A and B are shown apart, each in its own frame.
Chain A
C-alpha cells in the first residue's frame, strides 16, 4: 500500500470519528509506527559491509543507505567469509585471558554493545583483524528511515501494513479528549496483530512453524459452509 493510500485509509477511520489530523502528523506517526515495529520484531533484514581502520576491537553497526542497523543477526569476516560467532562478553575469556588488543587474520567472536543505532552502538570483536583495513559483512536487523513520498511503500509485507494504520490511529486518539477507550482498543489490536506478525516471522522456517503443509495426497475433510449451515439448522430443530 502506498503512503497516500495509507493516509486515505487512516483518514477514513478518523473522519467517522470526527477526528482531524494533518497529513504531516499522520506521515510522522506512520513512520514512527514502522520504526517501532522494526525495533520490536527485527523484521527488516539487510546485508551490508563495514570497513574500518584496523587495530581496534570496536566496530560500528553499519548503515544501508539511510536505514540504520539496530542489531546484527550474522557477522562474518569479509576477506575470508568465515563467520564471526556471537558470544557474551565474559566468554571472550575462552579465546584468551587478556583478550583485549589481541589480533589475528580473522576475528572469531563478537558481542553486541548497545543495540539500536546511535553513536554508541557497536560490536566488540575478538581478536581484531590484523589487516590495515578491517572488513566485516553483516546481516542485520535495520530500522527503516521512513516513507519519504506519497508513492513510497512500507517495508512491511502487505498483509501486515494494517499495523501502521492501527498505530497511527492510536496516536491520534491519544491527543483527542475523551477518546481513551478508543485509543486502548486501537493499541490492543495493534499488539495482537504485532504478535501475529512475529509468529509469522518465526514461521518462515520449519522450526518455527505451528503447522505443516499438507502432503501431496490428502483427504478432503473440509466442511463446506453449506454443510455447516445445515448442521446448525438440524441442531436448532432438535431443540
Chain B
C-alpha cells in the first residue's frame, strides 16, 4: 500500500474528503505519519537492520546510519565484539583513548541519532579502505535529456533527477557485465525506472557507489545473467523495495523503484520490463565484512519520501499507526480538535505498541 491510499483510509475514518471545507489536509496527515512512524519504530523496536561500515584506521570509528536507534550485535572482521559503555573500555585497554592498535574485542557507541558512531577498541591494525574507483553516484540521462542520479539508500537503488547536471556530459545508458560474461545496458525511463537490455557493447563496467561522502558503506551495481539489476555491498546485499500485493509488479508501475527482480521474458533477446516475484529481503553470501565493522541494530521504519512511496508495514501494524496519526490529527489546534479523542487514541496507540514490543522483543 502506498502512502496516498493509507492517508485516504485515515480520511475515511475522519470523514474528511480533503476537498470541501477541509479540517485536515493530506499534507499535514503525511507529516503526522512521518512522526508517528518514527515513534512507532522507537516504541516497538520492530525494525531490524544491519549495515557494514568502513572503519577509520586512525580513530577506529565508523559513522552509523541516520536511522540508527540501538545496536545489538556488533562485529569487526566478522568477529563479535562486546559493546560496552566508555568506562568499561578501560578493562580492554587502559589508554584506549590514545587509539592504540590491535585486534578489536570491544566497541562502544558514541552519540545518538545522526551523530552516532561506533568505536572499536583497540583501533584495528588493518582496515578495509573501500573499493578503488568508488564514486558517489552514477548518472544516466533519459530520452528527455534529464539526467538521473542513481544512488543507494541502505542497498536500495534510488533514482533522482539531477537538475544541475549538464546532459551532454552523460550517456543514455551504462553497460554492465554479469559474472558469466553477458553484457546488459542499463537505461532509465522518463519516470525514473531502471531497466536492462542485453547488449553487444564491448565495454563494461561495475559501478561502486557510496550513498554520500559521509556514509562509508560501499555498494556496487551489477546485472546478473538473467538481466536482474541488483546492488551488492560487502555483504552482497540485495534489498527489495516495492509495494507488493501478491501480484507480480511491473516496474513501470513503480516510480524509482528497486530491484530484485526477474525479466519478463528471459528467453527474449531484449526486454524492457522487469518483474518482482516477492520480497526477497537481503541476501548475504559468505565472508564479506573483512576488516570492516558490521552492525546489527534497531532502526526506523523506512521514511516515506512522497505520498507515492510505499508504506513498508503489514496490515496489522498499519492499524496501529493509524491510531497514532489520528491522535495527532485530533490534537491539532483548529476546528477538528477533539482533545478527548486525541488522548484516547494516544492511549490506544501506546498500548498497541507496548503489546507488539512485548511479543517480539526478548525480555531480560
Residues of A within 8 A of B (CB): 25, 28, 31-33, 35-40, 42, 52, 55-61, 63, 65-66, 68, 70-71, 88-90, 93, 97-98, 100-103, 112-122, 124, 143, 145-146, 171, 174-175, 177, 180, 183-184, 187, 191
Contacts and interface: CB of A to CB of B under 8 A. Distances in A.
A118 B279 contact: yes
B246 A66 contact: yes
Contact of B316 (A25, A70, A119): A70
A149 to B, nearest CB: 17
Contacts of A171: 13
B289 interface: yes
Contacts of B348: 187
B356 A180 contact: no
Contacts of B312: 118-120
Interface stretch (B162-170, B186-194, B336-344): B336-344
B341 A174 contact: yes
A93 B278 CA distance: 30
A101 B284 contact: yes
Contacts of B287: 98, 100-101
B284 A56 contact: yes
A116 B314 contact: yes
Given A58-B281, A98-B78, 7 more contacts: A35-B318, A35-B319, A58-B284, A68-B314, A101-B287, A113-B281, A115-B360
21 contacts: A31-B315, A33-B319, A36-B352, A40-B352, A40-B355, A40-B359, A60-B279, A89-B72, A101-B287, A114-B46, A114-B48, A118-B279, A118-B314, A120-B49, A120-B240, A122-B282, A175-B12, A175-B13, A175-B15, A180-B341, A180-B344
A191 B350 CA distance: 13
Given A35-B315, A120-B312, A180-B344, A88 B286 contact: no
A32 B362 CA distance: 27
B80 interface: yes
Interface string B280-305: 11111111110000001000000000
A102 B286 CA distance: 6
Given A58-B281, A97-B79, A39 B286 contact: no
A18 B111 CA distance: 55
Contact of A116 (B46, B285, B296): B46
B14 interface: yes
A119 B242 contact: yes
A60 B360 contact: no
A101 B282 contact: no
B80 A97 contact: yes
B317 interface: yes
A121 B360 CA distance: 13
Contacts of B246: 63, 65-66, 145
A58 B280 CA distance: 8
A79 to B, nearest CB: 20
B212 interface: no
B209 interface: no
A60 B278 CA distance: 9
Q: Which 5 A-B pairs have the closest CB atoms?
A: A101-B286, A39-B316, A35-B315, A122-B281, A98-B78
B62 interface: no
Contact of A38 (B316, B345, B352): B316
Given A36-B320, A116-B46, A175-B13, A60 B281 contact: yes
A36 B359 CA distance: 13
B13 A120 contact: no
Nearest to B322: A32
A114 B47 contact: yes
Given A28-B12, A39-B356, A174-B13, A98 B79 contact: yes
Interface string B316-329: 11111010001000
B181 to A, nearest CB: 19
Contacts of B119: none
B3 interface: no
